[in-house]
Amino acid sequence: MSEATTPDEPGFRRAARVQVAARVRQGRARVRTSFVPTLQAAVAAGLSWALAYYALGHEFPFFAPVCAWVALGFSADRQVRRVAELAVGVAIGVGLGDLVVHVIGSGPWQIALVLFVSATLARFIDRGAVLTTQAGVQAIVIVGLPALSASGSSPLGRWTDALVGGVVALGVAALSPDDPRRRPRAQARQAVLELAGMLDVLARGLRTGSAHDVEDALIRGRASQPALDDWREGAANARNLARVSPAGRRHRDELGALGASAVYVDRAMRNARVLARRSLSVVEADHDRGLGEVGGTLEQLARATESLAGSLAVGGGTLPTRRELVAVAERLDPFRLAPDDWQVQSLVLLLRSLTVDLLEAAGAPGGEAREALPEL
């Protein structure tokens, strides 16, 4: 989980290496999450082109795959209503644009006219902003690039292509399994594993007294923020879905818990960065009394954080994880871990706040999480 550190490696090179490693990890996680939706959208685009070409006899069915791809995209968040809005918006824009080009040609006032008419019609049909935006964009594409319409003799040719793509996209959205928990669960796992990895590197730095490892932990914590932001955004979208979707309402409790956990883990990461910055000054000042034991406790916390990532990813109960976190919390007595060094004791105090955040992320009430700590 943690990258090896070379003591004589220049600081800027270490920072770049840690940041690149974080981006690679997060990139792999995004690919895993979007692999199946992207494959489905690509196949749908190819199928749309084939239907328009072979079944309708259109020589250049450009807008069939365009409509399918725009409507489906690469996200697993495929509500049938949203896909329908996108598909209808593309069809309206393409149809009106094609009609305008064939009747009055192309130019600046034609673009203004078709944009106004397509947006007005889209607003009349539905209140969705996505539908209106796509209608306007596709109309501009058709009128602004009339060569796209020149390949078809009928003013409805491009519109039927878009219609084919929209129908295929709706079919894929309707037949695909719709579990609103899938995406926020995957995002939760990735974000919490980023935190666990940072804690692991920081624990190693405290155990060995390596300022390089502590610096790497801090860099890794900063580079992990995009994963946390993605999770918070995904959890918020899932909560919104739970209000309107039957599938979301069935899982309302878990979606709400994932959203709450995202907030607590974000706090935990911020506390972990503060802990890393403070640890760097302590390690550089050679305050080694008690650092090894604090590092061991932090390593135990990293293992519990990995357990939390697994629990959130599968939607199982977090009770075993809470027991692991409570076991860590019970050790966080600054006067026992570092009886003779107030600076090391300050690290334990920061670690206490971090552990409480993780307990709350695992579903423990705030009072119960704080009660798990030894009294000061």
Give 175-241 as a DSSP string.
HS---TTHHHHHHHHHHHHHHHHHHHHHHHHHHHT-HHHHHHHHHHHHHTHHHHHHHHHHHHHHHHH
Task: Give the pLDDT score at 366.
Answer: 85
User: Taking residues 59-86, what's their average pLDDT?
Assistant: 76
Q: How many CB atoms within 10 Å of residue 296?
A: 15
The pLDDT tens digits for 156-183 are 677 888 889 888 988 887 777 666 777 8
Does pLDDT of 9 surpass 70?
Answer: no
CB proximity list for 276: less than 8 A, separation 6 or greater:
198, 202, 214, 217, 218, 221
Domains and their CATH numbers in the chain: 33-175 (no CATH), 180-371 (1.20.58.220)
Does pLDDT of 64 surpass 60?
Answer: yes
- pLDDT above 70 covers a percentage of the chain that reads 85
Q: Which residue would you say has higher pLDDT here, 140 or 261?
A: 261
Mean pLDDT for the chain overall? 82
- Tokens encoding 220: 């890794």
Does pLDDT of 153 surpass 50?
Answer: no
At 126, phi and psi to the nearest 5? Answer: -155, 155
Task: Give the pLDDT score at 1.
Answer: 47
User: Taking residues 295-304, what's their average pLDDT?
Assistant: 94
User: Taking residues 97-108, what's their average pLDDT?
Assistant: 79
User: Range with the lowest mean pLDDT among 24-38, 73-87, 103-117, 241-255?
Assistant: 241-255
Reported pTM:
0.69
Task: Give the pLDDT score at 10.
Answer: 58
Does pLDDT of 151 surpass 50?
Answer: no
- Confidence at 154, pLDDT banded by 50, 70, 90: low
The pLDDT tens digits for 327-355 are 999 999 988 887 778 888 899 999 999 99
Task: Give the pLDDT score at 270.
Answer: 94
CA dihedral 37, 39, 40, 46 (to 10 degrees): 150
